[in-house]
Amino acid sequence: MYSVVIPAYNEAAAIGESVAAIRVALAATDDVEILVIDDGSTDSTAAAARAAGAVVLMHPHNVGYGRALKSGILAAKYDTIVIIDADLTYPASAIPLLIDRYALGFDMVVGARTGHHYQGSIFKGPLRRLLQFLVEFSAGRAVPDANSGLRVFSRNTIVPYLPHLCDTFSFTTSLTLGYMMTGRFVHYLPISYHQRVGQTKVRLILDALRTLQYIVQAIIYYNPLKIFLLLTLITTVLSVLGFLLAAVTGLHAPYYLGIGGLLVTIVIFALGLLADLLRQILVRTGSDRGPGRPVD
């Protein structure tokens, strides 16, 4: 028994074929619910989805990819949830493979995109690699695809995370961090990635900045010592450069810069220890109800 949640905004050209492909992929499965969340579309997305046999939930206006997914997850009939985009970029044929792997006991199984359509433009590629580095630094493990939109997970498990996950494009990245930084078992399966039907809704710079914001928030909340260690690395490098420059030139100013950098490093490290101690106290006392902390 599965609920497939599809967020859709002006996807009339693709949604019917997308729903049909999912039905074919899950034809051997009993009790499959397909939910299309029409996020304020101005075209015939809702009508096309209904004609294809999907249940349609409608937002009165566009509120974002993540918000649409949240609505679908909360409205889902079954506990096992599959999310997939409406634009035919993700192969519906991969869904049974993800479900089979999920049945082995993982908290979430994610389709890791491959192929030249995933590589993107000359600007998107380096930006994606930078964000991937930051996600891996935050999570402390390899993350093949931080924001893949094809996933399988439990409704009951994800619900406590929802209030603190991003309402827009970065929903999947914040979900990845939330699960990984709270010890959930996340597994990746390589999948092909196809050219989308219609225009992309991603705003590259704005969405990248919002993703960066959520990454920093996740580090500060789940493991604040990491962000302070990163800052101390920067100040330590500046301090060492100051001492080296003073030794080479004999000038006093670089020496004072080195001393100042060393003092700032000590202060930042101490603040990091205090922040981590506060986090542990909040967790132990049950006062912590932030992102990803399941409520008892």
| Predicted local distance difference test score (pLDDT) of residue 149 | 94
pLDDT value of position 254 = 85
Q: Are residues 239 and 273 in the same domain?
A: yes
The residue segments making up the domain with residue 162 are: 2-220
Which of these three, 185, 220, 255, is where a domain ends?
220
The verdict on 210 and 243 lying in the same domain is no
Is residue 156 located within the same domain as residue 276? Answer: no
Q: How far apart are CA 82 and CA 289, in angstroms?
A: 26
Residues 87 and 116 in one domain: yes
Using CA atoms of 192, 150, 35, 99 in order, give the dihedral in degrees to the nearest 10: 90
**Mean pLDDT, residues 161-174 taken together:** 89
Pair (188, 233) in one structural domain: no
pLDDT at residue 277, rounded to an integer: 81
Q: What is the pTM of this model?
A: 0.80
Do both 192 and 277 map to the same domain?
no
Residue 292: per-residue pLDDT? 47
Helical axes 224-249 vs 204-222, angle rounded to 10°: 100
* CB-based contacts of 247, cutoff 8 Å, min separation 6: none
Cα 225 to Cα 286: distance, rounded to the nearest angstrom: 20
- Cα gap 139→215, rounded to integer Å: 10
Each residue of 33-62: pLDDT tens digit? 999 999 999 999 999 999 999 999 999 999
Same domain, 215 and 233: no
Domain boundary among 220, 247, 269: 220
Rama region for 184: left / alpha / beta (φ>0; ψ in -120 to 50; rest):
beta
CATH number at residue 98: 3.90.550.10
Tell me which of 199, 220, 241 is where a domain ends. 220
Are 196 and 232 found together in one domain? no
205 lies in some domain: yes
| Contact residues for 173 (Cβ-Cβ < 8 A; gap 6+) | 131, 135, 146, 147, 166, 211, 214, 215
* Residue located via tokens 């992929």: 25
Residue 148's pLDDT band (boundaries 50, 70, 90)? very high
Q: For position 204, what pLDDT does the model report?
A: 62
pLDDT band at 213 (very low <50, low <70, confident <90, very high): confident
Average pLDDT of the chain is 87
Q: What is the pLDDT of residue 250?
A: 85
Same domain, 137 and 242: no
CA distance 207 to 72: 22
In terms of domains, do 241 and 94 share one?
A: no
Cα separation, 292 vs 178, in Å, equals: 5
Provide CB contacts within 8 A for 187, sequence distance 6+: 101, 102, 106, 108, 109, 110
| Whether pLDDT at 12 is above 90 | yes
* 251 in any annotated domain: yes
Number of separate domains in the chain: 2
What is the reported pLDDT for 176? Answer: 94
- Looking at the fold, whether 231 and 208 belong to one and the same domain comes out as no
| Same structural domain, 12 and 93 | yes
Residue 290 counted as domain residue: no
